[in-house]
């Protein structure tokens, strides 16, 4: 069965899907706090959010090697000295993605200005699946700006993380087979045939099957809100709504 790019499920699955045992607690405060030095959570943050930064570097004209190097060094410095890394960054109204992007933009500008790479040797902070990232870049129209590519990959990663949270819910409850049966309904192409398959797989009548789909979608939306809330500097509902609307607009432009 062919799946259209605008299918939410495809967007979520563009990155390797793994069930996470835990999620970084309140990512914004984790990054800007000078008190807590939770390297484990910071390393998880690096692993989750390297694709947008790497893709921005590539679309900004860096070679694969240079984009890898700058991305690794960005996260190395985040782990070792957050204060120095973020000293001149503009939080952009409280968006973690804007904060990261400002820092990387400065580094790329320095790279182009000096026309030399920073000294290597800081070590690998996060494993970069550059083949998958490059495939994602090839799917983007050549005329799309580096900033738009960054936003697109960030939005995809947010969706991926919300889906992983939902998958963890079902796995913890011993209902992974329910997750597998229900996840196609996050897409836009679910039809009566999909419902018949769901009813047969989970042994539900039509009414209960549709209720299960409704609850599944609602839980995904709640996890998506939670994921957004961890990337902005406020828990205000209106701010979360604005960021969600921005995410929808980004995905709409990418489809």
pLDDT tens-digit series, residues 45-75: 777 788 889 999 999 889 998 998 898 888 8
Half-sphere exposure of 255 (CA within 13 A, CB side): 17
Closest among 28, 36, 49 to 233, alpha carbons compared:
28
Is the pLDDT score of 201 beyond 70?
Answer: yes
pLDDT of residue 2: 30
Return the percentage of the chain with pLDDT > 70, whole number.
73
pLDDT of residue 30: 67
- What phi, psi does 234 have (nearest 5°)? -150, 155
Instruction: Give a yes or no: residue 38 inside a domain.
Output: yes
Q: Dump pLDDT digits (tens) for 130-150.
A: 777 777 777 776 778 889 888
Q: Which tokens belong to 254?
A: 């990418």
pTM reported for the whole predicted model: 0.71
pLDDT of residue 10: 36
**Bridge partners for 164 per DSSP:** none
| Number of structural domains the chain divides into | 1
Closest among 9, 1, 13, 28 to 92, alpha carbons compared:
28
Domain limits for position 211 = 8-254
Q: What's the CA gap between 104 and 37, in Å, rounded?
A: 22
Instruction: Give a yes or no: residue 3 inside a domain.
Output: no
Instruction: Give a yes or no: residue 215 inside a domain.
Output: yes
| Low-confidence winner among 34-38, 110-114, 139-143, 215-219 (lowest mean pLDDT) | 34-38
pLDDT of residue 193: 76
Instruction: Give a yes or no: residue 250 inside a domain.
Output: yes
Please answer whether residues 10 and 188 qualify as being in contact, where contact means their C-beta atoms are separated by less than 8 angstroms.
no
Instruction: Give a yes or no: residue 151 inside a domain.
Output: yes
Instruction: Give a yes or no: residue 94 inside a domain.
Output: yes
Please answer whether residues 52 and 157 qualify as being in contact, where contact means their C-beta atoms are separated by less than 8 angstroms.
yes
Instruction: Give a yes or no: residue 1 inside a domain.
Output: no
Distance of CA 98 to the CA centre of its chain: 14
pLDDT of residue 244: 92
pLDDT of residue 15: 35
pLDDT of residue 124: 62
């Amino acid at each position: 069965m062919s799946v259209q790019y605008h299918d939410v499920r495809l967007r979520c699955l563009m990155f390797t899907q793994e069930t996470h045992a835990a999620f970084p607690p309140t990512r914004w405060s984790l990054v800007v706090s000078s008190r807590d030095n939770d390297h484990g959570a910071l390393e998880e943050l690096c692993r989750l959010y390297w694709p947008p930064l790497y893709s921005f570097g590539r679309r900004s004209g860096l070679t694969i090697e240079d984009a890898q190097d700058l991305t690794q060094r960005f996260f190395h410095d985040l782990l070792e000295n957050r204060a120095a890394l973020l000293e001149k960054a503009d939080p952009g109204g409280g968006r973690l993605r804007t904060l990261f992007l400002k820092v990387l933009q400065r580094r790329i500008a320095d790279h182009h200005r000096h026309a030399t790479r920073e000294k290597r040797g800081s070590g690998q902070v996060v494993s970069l699946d550059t083949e998958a990232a490059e495939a994602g870049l090839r799917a983007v129209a050549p005329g799309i700006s580096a900033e738009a590519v960054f936003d697109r990959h960030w939005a995809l990663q947010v969706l991926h993380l919300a889906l992983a949270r939902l998958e963890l819910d079902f796995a913890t409850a011993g209902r992974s087979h329910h997750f597998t049966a229900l996840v196609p309904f996050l897409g836009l192409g679910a039809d009566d045939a999909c419902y018949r398959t769901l009813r047969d797989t989970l042994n539900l009548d039509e009414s209960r099957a549709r209720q299960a789909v409704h609850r599944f979608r609602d839980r995904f939306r709640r996890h998506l809100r939670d994921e957004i809330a961890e990337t902005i500097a406020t828990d205000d509902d209106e701010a979360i709504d604005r960021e969600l609307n921005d995410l929808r607009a980004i995905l709409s432009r990418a489809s």
